[in-house]
Amino acid sequence: MRVAEHFHDAAKDSLELEYWTAAGVLIVHSAIAFADALCIQQSGQKSVGPNHEETVSILEDVIATSEEATAALNQLRRIMEEKTKVSYLGELYSPE
């Protein structure tokens, strides 16, 4: 959880400096670290490889099924898709 908070705080600093892409990547890593913390809390395990989709799969297995949980998992998937755009496709974030 400390890692998630650290990334989140750094993202806020980047936003203040208008470093949109840096903030975006830090927000993504904050979400991943938060998901990892939930996985550890609920099952004692987390994803250890570079495929962050594993984090979503593990989290999906360990949290209760509800509309809220499904919505949160879908949002996490969308966040990871955005990371792919920036990290691998060379897209940059903007204030929008």
Residue 8 has pLDDT above 90, yes or no: yes
Please measure the distance between the N-terminal and C-terminal CA atoms of the chain and give it in whole angstroms. Answer: 28
What pLDDT score does 1 carry?
Answer: 94
How many Å apart are CA 43 and CA 88, to the nearest integer?
A: 31
* pTM for this entry: 0.82
Bigger pLDDT: 66 vs 15 = 15
Bigger pLDDT: 12 vs 49 = 12
Residue 45 has pLDDT above 80, yes or no: yes
